[in-house]
Amino acid sequence: MSVVMQKKPGESNKFNEAGRISIKSVSKVFGQGENAEVHALSNISLEIEPGSFVSLLGPSGCGKSTLLRLVAGLEQPNDGSLRLDGQEITGPDYLRGLVFQDPTLFPWKTIYQNIGAGLEARGVLAQKKHEIQQYIKLVGLEGFENKYPHQVSGGMAQRASLARALINHPKVLLLDEPLGALDAFTRMQMQQEMLRIWQDRGTTMLLVTHDVDEAIYLSDKIAIMTPRPGQIKEFIDIPIGRPRDRNNPDFVAIRSKILRIFNFVEDTALSYYL
Protein backbone atom coordinates (compact mmCIF):
# COMPACT_ATOMS: atom_id res chain seq x y z
CA MET A 1 0.00 0.00 0.00
CA SER A 2 1.35 3.42 -0.94
CA VAL A 3 0.27 6.99 -0.33
CA VAL A 4 1.63 10.46 -0.96
CA MET A 5 1.55 12.80 2.05
CA GLN A 6 1.13 16.32 0.68
CA LYS A 7 0.94 19.85 1.96
CA LYS A 8 -2.54 21.31 1.94
CA PRO A 9 -3.46 23.60 -0.99
CA GLY A 10 -2.78 27.24 -0.25
CA GLU A 11 -0.19 26.63 2.45
CA SER A 12 3.00 28.66 2.47
CA ASN A 13 5.69 27.50 0.05
CA LYS A 14 8.65 28.43 2.27
CA PHE A 15 9.81 24.83 2.69
CA ASN A 16 13.06 25.24 0.78
CA GLU A 17 14.96 23.22 3.40
CA ALA A 18 12.39 20.42 3.61
CA GLY A 19 12.98 17.00 2.09
CA ARG A 20 10.85 14.33 0.46
CA ILE A 21 10.91 10.90 2.12
CA SER A 22 10.33 7.94 -0.22
CA ILE A 23 9.82 4.52 1.37
CA LYS A 24 9.19 1.72 -1.12
CA SER A 25 8.25 -1.91 -0.28
CA VAL A 26 10.37 -1.90 2.88
CA SER A 27 10.60 -4.99 5.10
CA LYS A 28 12.80 -5.55 8.12
CA VAL A 29 13.71 -8.81 9.88
CA PHE A 30 15.89 -9.01 12.99
CA GLY A 31 17.94 -12.06 13.89
CA GLN A 32 18.89 -15.15 11.91
CA GLY A 33 17.41 -18.58 11.65
CA GLU A 34 13.77 -19.58 11.85
CA ASN A 35 13.57 -19.46 15.65
CA ALA A 36 15.50 -16.20 16.06
CA GLU A 37 13.82 -14.12 13.36
CA VAL A 38 11.60 -11.22 14.33
CA HIS A 39 9.62 -9.82 11.40
CA ALA A 40 9.37 -6.15 12.38
CA LEU A 41 8.08 -4.57 9.15
CA SER A 42 6.44 -5.98 6.05
CA ASN A 43 6.18 -4.30 2.64
CA ILE A 44 5.72 -0.68 3.74
CA SER A 45 5.48 2.07 1.11
CA LEU A 46 5.11 5.73 1.97
CA GLU A 47 5.76 9.04 0.20
CA ILE A 48 6.00 12.12 2.41
CA GLU A 49 6.02 15.50 0.67
CA PRO A 50 8.40 18.29 1.72
CA GLY A 51 7.10 20.30 4.65
CA SER A 52 4.59 17.70 5.83
CA PHE A 53 4.04 16.75 9.47
CA VAL A 54 3.24 13.03 9.58
CA SER A 55 2.75 10.75 12.60
CA LEU A 56 3.15 6.99 12.91
CA LEU A 57 0.59 5.57 15.34
CA GLY A 58 0.24 1.95 16.42
CA PRO A 59 0.56 -0.59 19.24
CA SER A 60 3.85 -1.21 21.01
CA GLY A 61 6.14 -3.49 19.03
CA CYS A 62 4.51 -2.76 15.67
CA GLY A 63 7.72 -1.36 14.17
CA LYS A 64 7.14 2.40 14.38
CA SER A 65 10.54 3.12 15.88
CA THR A 66 12.17 0.58 13.58
CA LEU A 67 10.78 2.45 10.57
CA LEU A 68 12.09 5.71 12.00
CA ARG A 69 15.53 4.17 12.53
CA LEU A 70 15.53 2.97 8.93
CA VAL A 71 14.81 6.50 7.70
CA ALA A 72 17.57 7.76 10.03
CA GLY A 73 20.00 5.26 8.49
CA LEU A 74 20.68 3.51 11.80
CA GLU A 75 19.28 0.26 10.39
CA GLN A 76 19.15 -1.16 6.88
CA PRO A 77 16.08 -2.87 5.35
CA ASN A 78 16.08 -6.50 4.28
CA ASP A 79 13.97 -5.55 1.28
CA GLY A 80 12.90 -2.33 -0.37
CA SER A 81 14.47 1.11 -0.42
CA LEU A 82 14.42 4.41 1.45
CA ARG A 83 15.37 7.71 -0.16
CA LEU A 84 15.66 11.37 0.75
CA ASP A 85 15.12 13.62 -2.26
CA GLY A 86 15.92 10.70 -4.54
CA GLN A 87 19.18 9.77 -2.81
CA GLU A 88 19.28 6.30 -1.25
CA ILE A 89 19.64 6.27 2.53
CA THR A 90 22.63 4.10 3.43
CA GLY A 91 23.62 5.48 6.84
CA PRO A 92 23.18 8.37 9.29
CA ASP A 93 23.40 11.92 7.99
CA TYR A 94 22.86 15.33 9.56
CA LEU A 95 20.24 16.04 6.87
CA ARG A 96 18.04 13.58 8.79
CA GLY A 97 17.94 14.88 12.34
CA LEU A 98 16.82 12.49 15.09
CA VAL A 99 15.32 13.33 18.48
CA PHE A 100 14.73 10.54 21.02
CA GLN A 101 12.34 10.26 23.97
CA ASP A 102 15.22 11.01 26.35
CA PRO A 103 17.13 14.21 25.58
CA THR A 104 20.52 12.36 25.44
CA LEU A 105 22.43 15.56 26.21
CA PHE A 106 26.08 15.44 27.22
CA PRO A 107 25.98 15.94 31.02
CA TRP A 108 29.42 17.59 31.09
CA LYS A 109 28.46 20.23 28.53
CA THR A 110 26.33 23.32 29.04
CA ILE A 111 23.10 23.83 27.10
CA TYR A 112 25.02 26.17 24.77
CA GLN A 113 27.73 23.56 24.21
CA ASN A 114 25.22 20.75 23.72
CA ILE A 115 23.38 22.67 21.02
CA GLY A 116 26.69 23.35 19.27
CA ALA A 117 27.81 19.72 19.51
CA GLY A 118 26.40 18.83 16.09
CA LEU A 119 28.28 21.68 14.46
CA GLU A 120 31.44 20.56 16.24
CA ALA A 121 31.01 16.97 15.04
CA ARG A 122 30.67 18.21 11.46
CA GLY A 123 33.76 20.40 11.79
CA VAL A 124 31.87 23.64 11.10
CA LEU A 125 31.65 25.07 14.63
CA ALA A 126 34.01 27.98 13.90
CA GLN A 127 32.04 29.08 10.84
CA LYS A 128 28.57 28.61 12.31
CA LYS A 129 29.06 29.31 16.01
CA HIS A 130 26.97 32.47 15.67
CA GLU A 131 23.92 30.30 14.94
CA ILE A 132 23.90 28.70 18.40
CA GLN A 133 22.33 31.74 20.04
CA GLN A 134 19.74 31.93 17.25
CA TYR A 135 18.61 28.39 18.00
CA ILE A 136 18.64 28.98 21.73
CA LYS A 137 16.17 31.78 21.05
CA LEU A 138 14.15 29.62 18.63
CA VAL A 139 13.47 27.00 21.31
CA GLY A 140 12.98 29.50 24.13
CA LEU A 141 16.10 28.78 26.19
CA GLU A 142 17.46 32.30 26.49
CA GLY A 143 18.94 32.75 29.94
CA PHE A 144 19.76 29.05 30.31
CA GLU A 145 22.74 28.89 27.96
CA ASN A 146 25.26 28.24 30.74
CA LYS A 147 23.20 25.72 32.67
CA TYR A 148 24.04 22.01 32.61
CA PRO A 149 21.42 19.35 31.76
CA HIS A 150 20.87 18.41 35.41
CA GLN A 151 20.10 22.05 36.19
CA VAL A 152 17.11 22.35 33.82
CA SER A 153 13.71 20.68 33.57
CA GLY A 154 12.93 17.75 31.29
CA GLY A 155 11.05 20.06 28.92
CA MET A 156 14.00 22.42 28.70
CA ALA A 157 16.38 19.53 28.05
CA GLN A 158 14.13 18.33 25.22
CA ARG A 159 14.07 21.85 23.77
CA ALA A 160 17.87 21.71 23.73
CA SER A 161 17.73 18.38 21.91
CA LEU A 162 15.43 19.88 19.29
CA ALA A 163 17.79 22.83 18.85
CA ARG A 164 20.80 20.51 18.57
CA ALA A 165 19.09 18.65 15.71
CA LEU A 166 17.70 21.74 13.99
CA ILE A 167 20.96 23.72 14.00
CA ASN A 168 22.29 21.33 11.35
CA HIS A 169 19.47 22.44 9.02
CA PRO A 170 18.10 18.93 8.45
CA LYS A 171 15.69 18.35 5.59
CA VAL A 172 13.81 15.87 7.78
CA LEU A 173 13.37 15.80 11.55
CA LEU A 174 12.65 12.34 12.97
CA LEU A 175 10.95 12.35 16.36
CA ASP A 176 10.87 9.10 18.35
CA GLU A 177 8.29 9.79 21.08
CA PRO A 178 10.19 12.95 22.08
CA LEU A 179 7.55 14.05 24.59
CA GLY A 180 6.79 10.65 26.12
CA ALA A 181 8.75 11.24 29.34
CA LEU A 182 7.16 14.62 30.12
CA ASP A 183 4.24 15.35 32.43
CA ALA A 184 0.88 16.14 30.80
CA PHE A 185 1.07 19.94 31.08
CA THR A 186 4.67 20.17 29.90
CA ARG A 187 3.83 17.79 27.07
CA MET A 188 1.00 20.00 25.81
CA GLN A 189 3.25 23.06 26.03
CA MET A 190 5.96 21.26 24.08
CA GLN A 191 3.44 20.21 21.43
CA GLN A 192 2.67 23.88 20.88
CA GLU A 193 6.38 24.66 20.73
CA MET A 194 7.02 21.90 18.19
CA LEU A 195 4.25 23.28 15.99
CA ARG A 196 5.67 26.79 16.27
CA ILE A 197 9.15 25.57 15.31
CA TRP A 198 7.78 23.49 12.44
CA GLN A 199 5.79 26.44 11.10
CA ASP A 200 8.83 28.69 11.45
CA ARG A 201 11.28 26.28 9.78
CA GLY A 202 9.05 24.18 7.52
CA THR A 203 11.20 21.06 8.05
CA THR A 204 9.56 17.76 7.10
CA MET A 205 8.52 16.05 10.35
CA LEU A 206 8.01 12.33 10.98
CA LEU A 207 6.78 11.58 14.51
CA VAL A 208 6.40 8.28 16.36
CA THR A 209 3.83 8.50 19.14
CA HIS A 210 1.42 6.38 21.20
CA ASP A 211 -0.73 9.41 21.98
CA VAL A 212 -3.81 9.74 19.74
CA ASP A 213 -4.53 13.34 20.73
CA GLU A 214 -0.89 14.29 20.15
CA ALA A 215 -0.96 12.82 16.66
CA ILE A 216 -4.19 14.65 15.79
CA TYR A 217 -3.03 17.93 17.30
CA LEU A 218 0.30 18.00 15.47
CA SER A 219 -0.13 16.17 12.18
CA ASP A 220 -1.29 16.76 8.65
CA LYS A 221 -1.61 12.98 8.24
CA ILE A 222 -1.49 9.93 10.48
CA ALA A 223 -0.32 6.50 9.34
CA ILE A 224 -2.00 3.75 11.39
CA MET A 225 0.20 0.66 11.75
CA THR A 226 -0.80 -2.94 12.41
CA PRO A 227 0.71 -5.21 15.09
CA ARG A 228 3.99 -6.90 14.12
CA PRO A 229 4.95 -7.38 11.41
CA GLY A 230 4.12 -3.72 10.98
CA GLN A 231 2.18 -2.66 7.93
CA ILE A 232 0.27 0.50 7.09
CA LYS A 233 -3.36 -0.28 7.89
CA GLU A 234 -4.94 3.08 7.17
CA PHE A 235 -4.13 6.73 6.53
CA ILE A 236 -6.04 9.45 8.36
CA ASP A 237 -6.13 12.96 6.94
CA ILE A 238 -6.46 15.79 9.50
CA PRO A 239 -8.42 18.52 7.66
CA ILE A 240 -8.58 20.83 10.69
CA GLY A 241 -7.03 24.29 10.67
CA ARG A 242 -4.48 25.40 13.24
CA PRO A 243 -4.44 26.20 16.11
CA ARG A 244 -6.53 23.14 17.00
CA ASP A 245 -9.04 22.81 19.83
CA ARG A 246 -9.01 19.33 21.34
CA ASN A 247 -12.71 19.72 22.18
CA ASN A 248 -13.69 20.73 18.66
CA PRO A 249 -16.31 18.30 17.24
CA ASP A 250 -14.10 17.53 14.23
CA PHE A 251 -11.16 16.76 16.53
CA VAL A 252 -13.35 14.50 18.68
CA ALA A 253 -14.73 12.74 15.59
CA ILE A 254 -11.22 11.94 14.30
CA ARG A 255 -10.20 10.70 17.76
CA SER A 256 -13.24 8.41 17.86
CA LYS A 257 -12.48 7.10 14.37
CA ILE A 258 -8.92 6.22 15.33
CA LEU A 259 -10.02 4.53 18.56
CA ARG A 260 -12.50 2.42 16.59
CA ILE A 261 -9.68 1.34 14.26
CA PHE A 262 -7.89 0.03 17.36
CA ASN A 263 -11.15 -1.57 18.58
CA PHE A 264 -11.65 0.88 21.44
CA VAL A 265 -15.25 1.98 21.61
CA GLU A 266 -14.94 4.42 24.52
CA ASP A 267 -13.19 7.77 24.36
CA THR A 268 -10.25 6.69 26.50
CA ALA A 269 -6.57 7.53 26.41
CA LEU A 270 -5.10 4.96 24.07
CA SER A 271 -1.66 5.35 25.60
CA TYR A 272 -2.85 3.45 28.68
CA TYR A 273 -3.41 0.34 26.60
CA LEU A 274 -0.54 0.33 24.09
Q: Do residue 60 and residue 120 come from a single domain?
A: no
Q: Do residue 121 and residue 148 come from a single domain?
A: yes
Q: What is the reported pLDDT for 247?
A: 93
d(CA 227, CA 184): 27
Q: What is the reported pLDDT for 8?
A: 44
Strand 79-84 relative to strand 4-5: parallel, antiparallel, unpaired?
unpaired
Q: Do residue 140 and residue 205 come from a single domain?
A: no
> Position 153: which residue type?
S
This model's pTM is above 0.75: yes
d(CA 258, CA 270): 10
- Among 115, 140, 169, where does a domain finish? 169
Pick out the chain residues at pLDDT < 70. Answer: 1-16, 34-36, 265-274
Q: What is the reported pLDDT for 273?
A: 39
CATH of the domain at 253: 3.40.50.300
> Is residue 271 situated within a structural domain?
no
Q: Do residue 197 and residue 88 come from a single domain?
A: yes
Q: Do residue 2 and residue 86 come from a single domain?
A: yes
Q: What is the reported pLDDT for 107?
A: 96
Q: Do residue 212 and residue 110 come from a single domain?
A: no
d(CA 221, CA 52): 8
Q: Do residue 42 and residue 128 come from a single domain?
A: no
3-state secondary structure of 5: strand
Q: What is the reported pLDDT for 15?
A: 52
- Among 118, 140, 169, where does a domain finish? 169
> What is the domain count for the chain?
2
Q: Do residue 178 and residue 255 come from a single domain?
A: yes
Q: Do residue 116 and residue 37 come from a single domain?
A: no
Which tens digit of pLDDT belongs to each residue from 135-152? 999 999 999 999 999 999
The range of the structural domain enclosing residue 33 comes to 1-6+17-95+172-266
Q: What is the reported pLDDT for 4?
A: 42
Cβ proximity of 195 and 227 under 8 Å: no
Q: Do residue 141 and residue 223 come from a single domain?
A: no
Residues in the chain: 274
Which tens digit of pLDDT belongs to each residue from 5-51? 444 433 444 556 799 999 999 999 998 776 668 899 999 999 999 99
> Is residue 27 situated within a structural domain?
yes
